[in-house]
Amino acid sequence: MDKIFKAMADINRRKILTLLKNGEMSVNELLKYFEITQATLSNHLSILKKAKLVESRVLGKKRIYRLNVELLRFFAQNIDKFAGNFGEKFCEEIEVRLRK
């Protein structure tokens, strides 16, 4: 659980998780929502992958990322042990806008 807490401590990583909630996305698709470099985004994705919050697959030259929903549900259930009914608050949306 420590890796999950550390991975979720960054707002950009939480934003990535929110975006992936709607389905699989490539790095280039994700990049449209950020004002960071591709290298920085890839670093964030690497941290999320090490925490097992996201999974990836290769499609041609693209790496496609998806949310590990089962792990997030498990995490929310464990948080409920400490905070009671925290899962509902935990799943609130992060405002996501396209980069101009």
pLDDT digit string (tens) for the chain, length 100 residues: 889 989 999 999 999 999 999 999 999 999 999 999 999 999 999 999 999 999 999 999 999 999 999 998 888 888 777 766 655 555 554 445 555 5
Rg (CA), the chain: 14
Instruction: With beta carbons less than 8 A apart as the criterion, state whether 93 and 19 touch.
Output: no
Model pLDDT, residue 91: 53
pLDDT at 95: 46
Give the pLDDT of residue 93. Answer: 46
Query: Domain-by-domain residue ranges, the chain?
Result: 2-90
Fill in the amino acid letter for 30.
L
Exposure class string for 5-36: b at 16+ Cβ within 10 A, else e: eebbeeebbebbbbbbeeeebeeeebbebbee
pLDDT at 94: 43
CATH fold of the domain at 2-90: Arc Repressor Mutant, subunit A (1.10.10)
